[in-house]
Structure 1
Amino acid sequence: MQVLIVKLSSLGDVVHALPVLHDMHQALPGVQVDWVAEQGFAPLLRDAAGIRRVIPVALRRWSKSLLRTPGPVLREFAAFRRDLQATRYDAVIDIHGLTKSAFVSWLAQGRRYAMANATRGSGYEAPTRWVADQAIALDPEVHVVQRSRIVCAQALGYAVPAELRFGLGRRDRTTQRPVVALVHGTSRADKEWPVEHWLALARRLHGQGVGVVFPHGSAEELARSERMAAALVTEGVAATVYPRMALDALARELAQCAGVVGVDSGLSHIAVALDLPHVQIYNFDTAWRTGPLPPASGPALQCSVFAQPAPTVDAVWAAWLQVQAADSERAAA
């Protein structure tokens, strides 16, 4: 069986969809899975277990450049379409749910499946069900990870497995470094945690003999990382700033950390996928649909903390001690 997954963006949404790969391979031995995603996320997907081929698309860039440079854009699009249509799939599954993903599904060759309705807090546009040969109805109150798993399971005729695996690789304790990544960057300013809170958390980690590293994804985040690192270093706290790197390289760096504390962002969701000790900070009560899911058994290595206008340092620290203890328990088992 040959299956095409259409999940184009964004980073967190792509990471949330990764468990469908393990589900499919467990339920359908020999299945071959291709995935269409925006080109910026292709390197990360190439590191994920269970994908035969990643087909990158540049809809964002093409839409911005079409009027300025129509020739190159049309040639790139033609090449993408040839690549997409080189395989006739047994199932084309749109787990994105927007007009752009419906367009990609319509271009692909094979029976098309999609979501029949929106789920709370997630974007949804009607063309996704117009294009589908079969639209799958969903409970509107569903976690985003489970939503993708349910759609794929119903499309391909298997039950969603109890085990949840992201297939993005796991850390090697023998090479783990005594640092915690502080993921302060996010696409929305109202999701940020105050700078003084990050500094206070770094000082507490220093008291445990643990340093901190700051990843970043924009010039603004880089500048904030450098300011925080400089302030901490003057106090004798070990703090460094990662260089800018591709997502696959950054994921491999995070996998060597002792853990991650971060706001609701794509990098925080990567920390969950890597099964790292992780605390996810929420200024809005949305962790029920995007935050870490509890494990089927054993202690939870990831948890979320919610408060308004923002969680306190004490609350985040208590959560960090909790996931640290769970990590120690798991290592001793």
Structure 2
Amino acid sequence: MKRILLVKTTSMGDVIHALPVVEDILQYFPDAQIDWLVEESFADIPRLHPQVKQVFTVAVRRWRKHWWRCQTWREIATVRQAVSAQSYDAVLDLQGLLKSAVMACWARGPRHGYDARSIREPLASRCYQHAYPIAYHQHAVTRMRTLAAMALGYAVPQDRPNYGLSKQHECSKRTAFLAFHATSRDSKLWPENHWVALGQHYAAQGLQMWLPWASASEQVRAHRIAVQVPHAVVLPKLSLQQLANEIPQVCFAVGVDTGLSHLAAALDVPVVAIYTDTDPAFTGVAGGRVAVAVNIGGKGQVPAVTTVLTQLRAI
């Protein structure tokens, strides 16, 4: 049995992108015990995977705001002690940042990561005993799967990723689709009238539009859209775990650049992801082995409703 610690702390989409590493490792080492170090706000993601044994949480985003407080340093000491309490056969820093490399040093075991030419913060590579050259200009899922394969000595996977979360249901029994309309920056939003037109199109075909939300402003936006779309449903406020249970109930999902679009793909739900302010080439939604994910748009682009409908018909 191998004990392996994965260090991938943020953000939601990036943490989801790391899930196929778990499945790759288990394919070659079926008895491996895999633990994960992650930011507290995204801890539900590795917990969704049934084969992740222990999840350690950090709160770097919160600690930065209150670094001078004794409580902050006590929390850091507590998680550091928990991580160092057991030895690992391998510690994989999938994040490749200085902060994650430092946290990887908390663990007892050989540390593996990207070499200085393969990451944005080259200084991080000095924290690893084993550093590997991995081409930067490829999708994040591919980079992380490659790092794990090189570190643990198995062939670099060439197949589509398996996220290990699939809860796929019969599509013929589903009567709704999910609209992930909210995201972290206004520049990533898709116009509300586009969401309304999309919802009205599928309402005419008997499909409900489900609109999740997290913040008060997202709830208001969801209601503005819903009142113009027949039978649209604004979901109650749901935790990540609760939403993960709802996602497999829909026929497909349409989302902007948000972690929830990645989560739908990880749950093997067909996804069309809309990008208006970022390039999806390297961090876009990556489909699993069952359902297709399509990324459209890019920086400074606003995909038309007809473009989204065309892609949905294709998948």
| 1:320 is the counterpart of 2:312 | yes
SS in 2 for 1:227: helix
The answer on whether the counterparts of 1:48 and 1:169 sit within 8 Å (CA) in structure 2 is: no
Equivalent residue number for residue 305 of structure 1 = 296
Equivalent residue number for residue 260 of structure 2 = 267
Q: Deviations over 1:18-63 (max 9, x none)?
A: 1000000001221111000011111221111321111111121122
Q: In structure 1, how many angstroms separate the alpha carbons of the residues matched to 2:287 and 2:20?
A: 14
User: What letter is aligned with 1:265?
Assistant: T
User: What letter is aligned with 1:194?
Assistant: P
Equivalent residue number for residue 79 of structure 1 = 78
The answer on whether the counterparts of 1:21 and 1:49 sit within 8 Å (CA) in structure 2 is: no
User: What letter is aligned with 1:81?
Assistant: R
Equivalent position to 2:204, from 196, 202, 207: 207
Gaps of 5+ in 2: none
SS in 2 for 1:113: strand
Q: In structure 2, how many angstroms separate the alpha carbons of the residues matched to 1:118 and 1:239?
A: 49
The 1:85/1:11 distance shift into structure 2, 3 A limit, reads same
Shift of 1:284: 5.1
Q: Deviations over 1:134-174 (max 9, x none)?
A: 11111121101101100111011111332420012322228
Root-mean-square deviation (CA), in Å? Answer: 2.0
Q: In structure 2, how many angstroms separate the alpha carbons of the residues matched to 1:255 and 1:127?
A: 41
Mapping for residues 182-197 of structure 1, pairs under 5 Å: 182-197=179-194
Equivalent residue number for residue 247 of structure 1 = 240
Equivalent residue number for residue 95 of structure 1 = 94
| 1:133 is the counterpart of 2:129 | yes
The answer on whether the counterparts of 1:117 and 1:138 sit within 8 Å (CA) in structure 2 is: no
Shift of 1:292: 4.0
Mapping for residues 160-239 of structure 1, pairs under 5 Å: 160-161=156-157, 162-173=159-170, 177-232=174-229, 237-239=230-232
Q: Deviations over 1:106-146 (max 9, x none)?
A: 11111011111466xxx721232010111111112110110
Equivalent residue number for residue 327 of structure 1 = none
Q: In structure 2, how many angstroms separate the alpha carbons of the residues matched to 1:284 and 1:240?
A: 27
User: What letter is aligned with 1:212?
Assistant: M
Q: In structure 1, how many angstroms separate the alpha carbons of the residues matched to 2:172 and 2:37?
A: 33
The answer on whether the counterparts of 1:94 and 1:128 sit within 8 Å (CA) in structure 2 is: no
The answer on whether the counterparts of 1:23 and 1:160 sit within 8 Å (CA) in structure 2 is: no
Equivalent residue number for residue 17 of structure 1 = 18
Shift of 1:229: 1.3
TM-score (norm 1): 0.88
Q: In structure 2, how many angstroms separate the alpha carbons of the residues matched to 1:42 and 1:303?
A: 26
User: What letter is aligned with 1:147?
Assistant: R
TM-score (norm 2): 0.93
The 1:46/1:285 distance shift into structure 2, 3 A limit, reads closer
Gaps of 5+ in 1: 324-333
The 1:117/1:267 distance shift into structure 2, 3 A limit, reads farther
Q: In structure 1, how many angstroms separate the alpha carbons of the residues matched to 2:67 and 2:282?
A: 36
Equivalent residue number for residue 328 of structure 1 = none
Q: In structure 2, how many angstroms separate the alpha carbons of the residues matched to 1:11 and 1:294?
A: 16
Q: In structure 2, how many angstroms separate the alpha carbons of the residues matched to 1:112 and 1:207?
A: 55
Deviates more, 1:202-211 or 1:304-313: 304-313
Equivalent residue number for residue 151 of structure 1 = 147
Equivalent residue number for residue 49 of structure 1 = 50
SS in 2 for 1:88: coil
| 1:124 is the counterpart of 2:120 | yes
The answer on whether the counterparts of 2:265 and 2:286 sit within 8 Å (CA) in structure 1 is: no
Shift of 1:318: 0.7
The 1:63/1:275 distance shift into structure 2, 3 A limit, reads same
Deviates more, 1:276-285 or 1:105-114: 276-285
Shift of 1:226: 1.7
Equivalent residue number for residue 326 of structure 1 = none
The answer on whether the counterparts of 1:102 and 1:127 sit within 8 Å (CA) in structure 2 is: no
Q: In structure 2, how many angstroms separate the alpha carbons of the residues matched to 1:41 and 1:147?
A: 21
The answer on whether the counterparts of 2:262 and 2:286 sit within 8 Å (CA) in structure 1 is: no
The 1:184/1:28 distance shift into structure 2, 3 A limit, reads same
Q: In structure 1, how many angstroms separate the alpha carbons of the residues matched to 2:28 and 2:242?
A: 30
